[in-house]
């Protein structure tokens, strides 16, 4: 099928390449000329496992191309809209400027029977607001939220755990849903649940899934706060409650909390939207979810201070990690960098290393010292803090070897990802988060 993808950022670029990889003829469209130039050459503009390969293949096969010219969307049957919905500058709400611009820009090129499939995460009610403009052209608007995780984006797009389509009522909606089923044929044929709903439900599925995940992380971090004053171990607690299948162990990783381009902004936008709808109290707990999350970053910095005897002033602190999570070079709202900046603010000489995100981090926080080589970064450290659980630190860093490089064997495990016993056995003072 011929498809267009409007917006070639994280979501759009992966979607375009993934759709080409399953046999569709795809044009990716974005206003950013540099991004399009890079994608057209088959170069992924950000680090995402597997993306480079499917981009190269797609371009070589002729199934995939990129342009800044919106008119090239004409002739496609389905037009995916995957532009950003960042947090507004002066509040918590989602900024819909790019969604509106993308849909309005697309309107002149739509034909009778086309489908416009919104993928961006939007406040509930957005699709209903956009639909009349799309319908006027003879096309149908559907809302088809995306649940991809960074680091797994290609896999999550090609083989998602569910597909959701919010469609208008009646025959028009049924037709649109069956066209989307065709687009996603390989996963539908495999038995991936394909859930057809109204617009509002589809929009809410996305924000409520993210709100639930964020709540789960803040729940376990709240337990970590209690563990800290009682001597309990939050990781054992998580293992034990996680055995209850109703709870589950995933997303019970206590530490410095969640960040990235989605969870923080999405829970804030959800709160803001609920307020607008007069139901602020229904999701008032999300404010606490956010607050607990942000407190953990302060706690991590405080742990380093305590570990160094009350002050980090002019101490060498090595920060292992900058990305908001491993397998990503994304530093948007990264708890890792936030902790590094806090330590710098307390007067420490902070050295940051990361396998993928240094370039991005340097651009935003030039005041910190960056070193590519992990061992070089560890040299002469008075304390080390792990803030992103890359395998390079979690599995591959031998505590005895690390101990031979540093000045003080003090390690704060901001992700509870190290083998505490092994580090202690190698002579380190080990501090976890919510662990004795």
152 or 194: CB nearest ligand UDX? 152
> CB of residue 414 vs ligand UDX: minimum separation in angstroms?
10
Q: Dihedrals φ, ψ of 3, to 5°?
A: -130, 150
Q: How far apart are CA 414 and CA 325, in angstroms?
A: 12
Interface of this chain with ligand UDX, residues 316 to 335, rule: CB under 6 A: 324-325
Tell me, residue by residue from 210 to 249, as one string, x for binding to ligand UDX by CB under 6 A and - for no binding. Answer: x--x---x--------------------------------
Q: On the CB side of 228, how many CA atoms lie within 13 Å of its CA?
A: 17
Q: How far apart are CA 393 and CA 387, in angstroms?
A: 10
Nearest Cα residue to 42 out of 34, 31, 33, 53: 53
> CB of residue 425 vs ligand UDX: minimum separation in angstroms?
26
Is the Cα dihedral 237, 243, 245, 251 positive or negative? positive
To which residue do tokens 């005895």 refer? 400
Nearest Cα residue to 47 out of 327, 258, 387: 327
25 or 150: CB nearest ligand UDX? 150
258 or 428: CB nearest ligand UDX? 258
Q: Across the strands, what pairs with 25? A: 2
Tell me, residue by residue from 154 to 193, as one string, x for binding to ligand UDX by CB under 6 A and - for no binding. Answer: ----------------------------------------
State the catalytic residue, choosing from 59, 167, 262, 289: 262
417 given a catalytic annotation: no
> CB of residue 72 vs ligand UDX: minimum separation in angstroms?
28
90 or 161: CB nearest ligand UDX? 161
> CB of residue 110 vs ligand UDX: minimum separation in angstroms?
27
> CB of residue 198 vs ligand UDX: minimum separation in angstroms?
21
Query: Measured at the alpha carbon of residue 187, what is the angle toward residues 44 and 17, in degrees to the nearest 5?
Result: 15
99 or 263: CB nearest ligand UDX? 263
What is the distance in angstroms between the CA of the first residue and the CA of the last residue of the chain?
57
Number of residues that bind ligand UDX (CB under 6 A): 19
* Environment class of 251 (CB within 10 Å of its CB; exposed 0-12, middle 13-18, buried 19+): middle
Q: Give me 344's structure tokens.
A: 């710098």
Q: Which residue is nearest to ligand UDX (CB)?
A: 253
For residue 78, the surrounding DSSP H or E stretch is strand 78-81
3-state secondary structure 84-147: CCCECCCCCCECCHHHHHHHHHHHHHCCCCCEEEECCCCCCCHHHHHHHHHHCCCCEEEECCCC
Q: Does 387 bind ligand UDX (CB under 6 A)?
A: no
Q: Dihedrals φ, ψ of 370, to 5°?
A: -120, 135
27 or 320: CB nearest ligand UDX? 320
Query: Measured at the alpha carbon of residue 222, what is the angle toward residues 290 and 214, in degrees to the nearest 5?
Result: 40
Query: How far, in Å, are 71, 101, 320, 351, 406 from residue 380 at the CA level?
Result: 58, 52, 14, 11, 4
Interface of this chain with ligand UDX, residues 248 to 267, rule: CB under 6 A: 251-253, 255, 257-260, 262-263
For residue 195, the surrounding DSSP H or E stretch is strand 194-197
DSSP state of 253: -
Tell me, residue by residue from 122 to 161, as one string, x for binding to ligand UDX by CB under 6 A and - for no binding. Answer: -------------------------xxxx-----------
116 or 331: CB nearest ligand UDX? 331
Q: Give me 182's structure tokens.
A: 């065709």
144 or 210: CB nearest ligand UDX? 210
> CB of residue 84 vs ligand UDX: minimum separation in angstroms?
13
Residues involved in catalysis:
262
Give the interface with ligand UDX as residue ranges (CB under 6 A). Answer: 147-150, 210, 213, 217, 251-253, 255, 257-260, 262-263, 324-325
């Amino acid at each position: 099928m011929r498809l267009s993808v409007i917006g070639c950022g994280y979501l759009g670029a992966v979607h375009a390449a993934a759709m080409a990889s399953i046999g569709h003829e795809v044009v990716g469209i974005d206003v950013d000329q540099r991004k399009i130039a890079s994608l057209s050459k088959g170069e992924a503009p950000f680090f995402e496992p597997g993306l480079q390969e499917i981009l190269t293949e797609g371009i070589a096969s002729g199934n995939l191309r990129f342009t800044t010219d919106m008119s090239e969307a004409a002739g496609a049957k389905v037009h995916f809209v995957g532009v950003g919905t960042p947090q507004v500058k002066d509040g918590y709400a989602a900024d819909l400027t790019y969604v509106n611009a993308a849909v309005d820009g697309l309107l002149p090129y739509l034909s009778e029977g086309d489908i416009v499939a919104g993928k961006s995460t939007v406040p509930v009610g957005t699709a209903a607001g956009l639909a009349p403009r799309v319908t006027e052209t003879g096309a149908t608007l559907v809302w088809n939220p995306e649940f991809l995780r960074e680091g797994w984006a290609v896999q999550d797009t090609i083989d998602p755990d569910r597909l959701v389509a919010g469609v208008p009522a009646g025959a028009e909606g049924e037709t649109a849903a069956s066209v989307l089923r065709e687009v996603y044929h390989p996963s539908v044929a495999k038995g991936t649940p394909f859930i057809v709903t109204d617009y509002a439900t589809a929009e809410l599925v996305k924000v409520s899934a993210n709100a639930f995940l964020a709540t789960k992380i803040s729940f376990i971090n709240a337990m970590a706060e209690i563990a800290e004053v009682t001597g309990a171990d939050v990781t054992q607690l998580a293992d034990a409650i996680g055995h209850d299948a109703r709870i589950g162990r995933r997303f019970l990783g206590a530490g410095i909390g969640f960040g990235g381009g989605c969870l923080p902004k999405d829970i804030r936008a959800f709160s803001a939207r609920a307020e607008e709808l007069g139901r602020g109290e229904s999701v008032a707990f999300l404010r606490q979810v956010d607050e607990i999350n942000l407190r953990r970053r302060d706690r991590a910095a405080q742990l380093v201070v305590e570990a160094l005897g009350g002050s980090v002033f002019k101490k060498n602190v090595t920060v292992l990690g900058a990305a908001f999570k491993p397998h990503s070079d994304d530093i948007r709202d990264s708890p890792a960098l936030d902790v590094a900046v806090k330590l710098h603010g307390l007067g420490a000489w902070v050295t940051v290393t990361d396998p993928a995100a240094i370039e991005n981090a340097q651009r935003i926080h030039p005041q910190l010292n960056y070193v590519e080589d992990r061992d070089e970064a560890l040299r002469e450290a008075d304390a080390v803090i792990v803030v992103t659980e890359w395998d390079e630190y979690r599995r591959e860093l031998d505590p005895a070897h690390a101990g031979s490089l540093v000045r003080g064997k003090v390690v704060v495990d901001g992700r509870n990802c190290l083998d505490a016993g092994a580090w202690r056995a190698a002579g380190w003072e080990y501090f976890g988060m919510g662990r004795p």
